Chains A and B, each alone.
Chain A
């Protein structure tokens, strides 16, 4: 689904991503882990069209999409959440969701002025869909709340909800678990598994919560210092000496699962 070929990106003298190649298989939930500063979020931003790579290629569903702007990638079926939640703070929770689907006729101002009936019909359908998503995320009671007033965890959920408003081919989840309580996180993991199994969404997940990674992701890719270190099942990763070293330095030979990286 996503293919990253020899991608590099530097900021000044810092090589954030260096000659990085990886593949996210269609229908998989692929994890991306690595210590802070490994280049995970930079790679995500390159894939999502927020940053142009210095060199290398990004393929999405077989098409070369290197350098495409984010909004075009969305139309091609790529949705994402952000590491630091990017809610539309002065819009209500339900508006945050209803903003998502592309090609709404009311986004054309002339249709909003002169074909209002059509816009109203679309809005009704959109609202129903948004309420379903809110129910799945246990956010129904916050429908009319400003998104800016939500807690950190709720904002993360809202971002996941945005991706659920459409039928994306692939969803990039950037530290979805940060700030979400354990019980809810378990439910969300269930939701991700269901979307993956029933609707065939591909997920590419950056996460520091190793339990969540272990539950959801197969395979797991490990990045360190801008490069791919290794990839495999979580069980394999936990045993990998190079990974343990990258996370903890050479002195501590402790399981990755026990580290709060």
Chain B
């Protein structure tokens, strides 16, 4: 492999890790902070991806729009759309027991996937949305444009991470953790349980939508294969659990580590004899599942377990 090829590979690896890191940070807001079992991450990812792609791509006959809007406008709208969907789902499901949210979110993600597949006028169906512009691609020559896009993702991950850390250390995060540990006791100390849960759910969904938008613009093509629950829901859960739920750094670490392993197994499986290559897709999933088991046996709370935040302004005291 040439040096250029290798650095392209690293840039691709970093870009995808960053997108998954955002998904994990979003899920951590819902599960790590608030104990909300979202089994339909793919739905919010898909909303983010499709809204951004429709708004930002050039006019096309095969799907709605595109409207050729700048990403600085398309991405926030995509996030807002996912937030609105999360608000509606949350209003209905969050007052119920935890398991119902899991079932509802799986259902909604599947319904959405089928809508996306069949409503061709809107999404292009299985033909998908092509020629989505990637930021920097016309501004800079390769590979610098890809590196700049990676830089943008790193900046976005950093912003979301810092905002999530502040949220974790704040009374907002403390209230959510209290609700997660005992919702009746949290209500008994005056916390509006439904309201707090809704905030965490909507915020997490918006971060997931940002990841979806970035992914659509990175691949430049968006079809139904991009929003498979295996790749967007299952893998993200594995990442967060391996990295350590309730720990924002753990979320990022888990995303990077599992994506590295996932893409490394692709390199390996491509070298398998031809009759095995077709089987590689489920062998990889099986291997990731095994890895999850090993990690959970050895590190029950993930590689970086949840820690209570340092008490605010506590640094100078000697305890």
Contact = CB atoms under 8 A, between A and B. Distances in A.
Interface residues of A, number: 44
A76 to B, nearest CB: 10
A95 B172 CA distance: 12
A100 B187 CA distance: 10
Contacts of B1: none
B184 A90 contact: no
Interface stretch (A27-35, A80-88, A194-202, A246-254): A80-88
Interface stretch (B101-109, B145-153, B174-182, B212-220): B174-182
B171 A123 contact: yes
B193 interface: yes
Given A70-B184, A87-B185, A90-B181, A99 B175 contact: yes
Interface string A157-182: 00100100000000000000000000
A74 B182 contact: no
A128 to B, nearest CB: 11
B163 interface: yes
B136 to A, nearest CB: 28
Contact of B167 (A49, A112, A124): A112
B174 A95 contact: yes
A75 to B, nearest CB: 5
A36 interface: no
Interface string B280-293: 00000000000000
Contact of A94 (B177, B181, B306, B311): B311
B185 A88 contact: yes
Contacts of A109: 167, 170, 172, 199, 203
Contact of A119 (B163, B246, B312): B312
A1 interface: no
Contacts of B193: 71
A82 B189 CA distance: 12
B308 A74 contact: no
A200 B171 CA distance: 29
Interface string A115-157: 0100110111001000000000000000010100000000000
A107 interface: yes
B172 A112 contact: yes
Judged by DSSP, the binding face of B is helix
Contacts, number: 114
A50 interface: yes
Contact of A70 (B170, B188, B314): B188
A102 interface: yes
A116 B166 contact: yes
Contacts of A162: 189
B183 to A, nearest CB: 9
A178 B314 CA distance: 35
Contact of B170 (A50, A86, A112): A112
B171 A71 contact: no
Contacts of B173: 112
B60 interface: no
B191 interface: yes
A104 interface: yes
Interface in A179-225: none
B190 A102 contact: yes
Contacts of B178: 88, 91, 96, 99
B313 interface: yes
A127 B309 CA distance: 14
A82 B187 CA distance: 12
Contacts of A75: 190
B171 A113 contact: no
A162 B178 CA distance: 12
Interface in B74-105: none
A127 B311 contact: yes
Contact of B166 (A87, A102, A107, A113): A113
Given A94-B311, A123-B312, A74 B171 contact: no
B225 interface: no
Interface string B182-226: 101111111111000001000100000000000000000000000
A55 interface: no
A80 B313 CA distance: 30
A56 interface: no
A89 to B, nearest CB: 5
A88 B177 contact: yes
A159 B180 CA distance: 17
A146 B313 CA distance: 20
Interface in B263-319: 306, 308, 311-314, 319
Given A89-B181, A91-B178, 15 more contacts: A69-B187, A71-B188, A71-B190, A79-B189, A86-B185, A88-B186, A91-B177, A92-B308, A94-B311, A99-B189, A102-B189, A109-B199, A120-B312, A122-B171, A124-B312
28 contacts: A50-B184, A50-B187, A69-B187, A70-B184, A74-B189, A74-B190, A80-B188, A82-B184, A86-B185, A87-B182, A88-B181, A88-B182, A96-B178, A99-B178, A99-B186, A99-B191, A107-B171, A109-B199, A109-B203, A112-B172, A113-B166, A116-B166, A119-B170, A119-B171, A120-B313, A123-B171, A123-B312, A127-B311
